Amino acid sequence: MVKIAVIGWYGTETIGDRAILAGLVRVFALTFGDFSIRLGSLFTVLTERTLLEDIDFLSKCSGTDCLSISIFDSLKPKCLRDNIKDADLLVVGGGPLMDITVMYMLEYAFQIAARKGIKTALLGCGWGPLKAEEYIKCALRIVRLSHLTIFRDRLSEQSCLSYWKSEEKKTNALIDPAFFAASYFVKNINRERTQGHIAINLRDTALDQYGGDSSLLEARFGKILNDISDKTSLPVYLIPMHTFVIGGDDRVILTKIANKVNKDNVIVLQNPLNLKETMEKYYDAYFCVGMRFHSVVLQTVLNGKNYILDYTEPQKGKIYGMLDELNIVDVYASRYTSLLDNPDIDNLIIECQRYEADFSLLDDYLNSYSRLLKTIL
């Protein structure tokens, strides 16, 4: 049995992080067959709930009756060391390398692995936003220590490699592991879409990492919701992708907007959904709107009738990078808006042709992850 320690942003996980974990489970199952996971968590109480809710889906992704997975506190140095020292592989599993103090925990973990001769991998990570020099240097040290680096898009890879001068660093660019969770779901659901609602995810971008103005966002989003609710009699579900106080609980801004719009068919889903339930809501929607990166990933694969609100840097951020990696920039040209470039969204067309995900391409990416992982272990 291959023993894998996985660390990252777990413990503050969004639905996106949960989809990344399911995608990594698919990668590990294809690569190793028999494996166990020790999952490092920043706040173990949240990750315990995640596993309680998602274990059935994770086990199906692993091809077993019950996935072998345990949790440890990755912020406690001794606990971190104890769970790495006899592992076969240490993985930073998805999410961005960005301006946040937890980056130093990732670096410390990779240093432990280096001293113990344990293989390390960055799987499906993004690069940035990184603005502070101390975090840029930390991220570069992590990449230098990694035996295998797979970025989630070419823009991330290019941004990282722009810092390397005389020394060459071998990296790879594929796609976010969450795609593999979504593709598995679609292949195994075995029923048609009900198309009985509209599914929307919005987030507050007034965060230090991204900048932004909440009041302007609320007015802009209110206009979008008014427009959509006037065009349909279907319920319009506002679906949070994140419900933890650290990282911005989506329900806060969703509730503010819903209260201002005050339409009977605009409903905030206040009770947190698990990963499978969230994917079902996107799959069954007549139309979707996504803003958080992984809401866009899931909606694109699970539904394909979706509009993208991009809050990241135009043509340089992770959402554009994902569309470019899949060669579908042109497909989404008429249903994509950069919130930084276009402050006013005049008309959001909910009648559009469904994009059908290329599952053979997604399988090729999955196989590429597995092939590259086999080269180090």
For the chain, domains (ranges, CATH) are: 2-184+361-374 (3.40.50.2000), 185-357 (3.40.50)
pLDDT average per 10 residues of sequence, the chain (377 residues): 96 95 98 97 96 98 97 98 98 92 97 98 94 95 97 93 78 97 96 96 67 70 90 96 90 94 96 97 97 97 96 87 94 90 71 94 98 97
What does DSSP assign to residue 355?
P
**What sign has the CA pseudo-torsion 57, 37, 241, 359?**
negative
Total residue count of the chain as it appears in this document: 377
> Going along the chain, which residue ranges are E strands?
2-7, 35-41, 69-73, 89-97, 119-127, 148-151, 172-173, 198-200, 236-238, 266-268, 287-290, 306-310, 336-338
Q: Phi and psi at residue 253, in whole multiples of 5°? A: -70, -35
What does DSSP assign to residue 344?
-
Distance CA 180, CA 18 (A): 12
* C-alpha angle 51-249-62 in degrees, rounded to nearest 5: 25
What per-residue confidence (pLDDT) applies to 212? 56
Question: Strands across the sheet with 287-290, in order?
Answer: 266-268, 236-238, 198-200, 287-290, 306-310, 336-338
Tokens (6 digits) for 318: 């992770």
What per-residue confidence (pLDDT) applies to 207? 44
Cα–Cα distances (Å) from 343 to 117, 209, 310, 376, in that order, read 51, 19, 11, 46
Tokens (6 digits) for 45: 């109480």
178 within 8 A of 298, measured Cβ to Cβ: yes
What is the C-alpha R_g of the chain? 20
Strand 69-73 with 89-97, pairing: unpaired
What per-residue confidence (pLDDT) applies to 208? 42
Q: How remote is the C-alpha of 63 from its chain's centroid? A: 22
What per-residue confidence (pLDDT) applies to 209? 42
pTM, full prediction = 0.96
Cβ atoms within 10 Å of 211's Cβ, excluding its own: 11
